[in-house]
Structure 1
């Protein structure tokens, strides 16, 4: 009874928050392959929303549509209350500056040191910062992920977990209001995966970010999610907390929790 009340209280708290992302009737096909068939979802301010689904269910396409990396065929994508599907490139870029994207492989530039990777990103987004401000921002971002000592290392000198952390530091350095995580624990051992999941929670708490997390890692989903949605054949088939979905009577939903 107490646990149920806590879950209900959390739901009410989230529902009362400002909507930051809202997708309405989103469709996307690649030739004859229909990937999204009318997605409707919202993400609230400060919420961690996890998206689950089998390969090919449209998870990654959904978040790529949110930043204009993939153009939707139909529907609305409202970010900060603005429909980005109707924006020209210049205005869309102003929205993108407020969004961080952590790619599955970290997407670091192999020819640059960690410092240079972060500096390149920061200068691109904030070209008028002084060298002192840039250095302070780099050190703060690395401190957030616990890797200040790696500042002059090359990506090839880093482990998979360290590369993910540096990728997150590069995302955090622009102080995004939204972070999109694409398989943040993919390819990592269970201990490192948990460290990354805990880091996602730390970022949420410290920066009040709205995060959308694509993952196959149920341990990550359980630890990080305020709410979970499950995609199946291009539509949302179920939604709820981890505990609620784990108890679902739908076999396809329960299969994620086995």
Structure 2
């Protein structure tokens, strides 16, 4: 039976907001019985940082992978910039993808390439008309924006976990995305580095006017970055609100995230 979403708190006011992502009734099953998404509906407003919380296996990462077509849902509607991405031809979907940055949990850098080569490879794939000087300039600028200009000729193996995450962010930013999807941006990092990455997410939003969905288990990251929080449970959005509203929820399961 399809399970309906249960909202513990009233939906955060979105009056006057412009949604850049709208998801309605998203379902995804793996195999015969692994029903991961059971009718997820959510929206991301322009200029907003939306944090999605949930236990491991609750479908958080699957949800954002569906947005960019890395996973195909069984049922539902996904609108990005008012276009239903599930109905787009491949070339149309690629045009939408260029406007969306995706920060993978493991950073996903090419280990055989230097930092500079990683960034140049991404840039040239989508902007082949740039001159060598223009590519160099954009690489230098984006590395400076994440505080790692000195790492330009290093190999990924020479970088700490926090540095790899920053380089992965630089690679995302070099295409100047309007939306960024962060998949566990602070996982595996120490407390200080995690806070630095969370602060960098805020800086990126302020400087580049991005809209973001942040998947995380890190409550410090959620508290610092979230304009709004949604919590997934049993394949649906179970609760929604600000950090403070959810922390004070009468629902024990919701409050357990904040202990």
CA distance in 2 between counterparts of 1:46 and 1:135 reads 29
Which residue of structure 2 aligns with residue 26 of structure 1? 26
Q: Give ranges in structure 1 of 5+ residues lacking alignment.
A: 1-10
CA distance in 2 between counterparts of 1:133 and 1:243 reads 45
RMSD, matched Cα: 0.8
Which residue of structure 1 aligns with residue 16 of structure 2? 16
By how many angstroms is 1:91 displaced? Answer: 0.7
* Cα deviation 1:189-209 (Å, max 9, x = unaligned): 000000000000000000110
Secondary structure of 2:214's aligned partner: strand
Structure 1 residue 255 and structure 2 residue 256: aligned?
Answer: yes
Higher-helix-fraction structure: 1
Secondary structure of 1:37's aligned partner: strand
By how many angstroms is 1:140 displaced? Answer: 1.0
The TM-score, its normalising length taken from structure 1, stands at: 0.94
CA distance in 1 between counterparts of 2:184 and 2:165 reads 10
Which residue of structure 1 aligns with residue 107 of structure 2? 106
Structure with bigger RCO (C-alpha 8 Å, 6+ apart): 2
Secondary structure of 1:25's aligned partner: strand
* Cα deviation 1:60-109 (Å, max 9, x = unaligned): 00000000000011010000000001111111011001000000111100
Which residue of structure 2 aligns with residue 77 of structure 1? 78
Q: Give ranges in structure 2 of 5+ residues lacking alignment.
A: 1-11
The TM-score, its normalising length taken from structure 2, stands at: 0.94
CA distance in 2 between counterparts of 1:233 and 1:131 reads 50
Q: 1:176·1:209 contact (CA, 8 Å) conserved in 2? A: yes
CA distance in 1 between counterparts of 2:179 and 2:225 reads 15
CA distance in 1 between counterparts of 2:16 and 2:106 reads 35
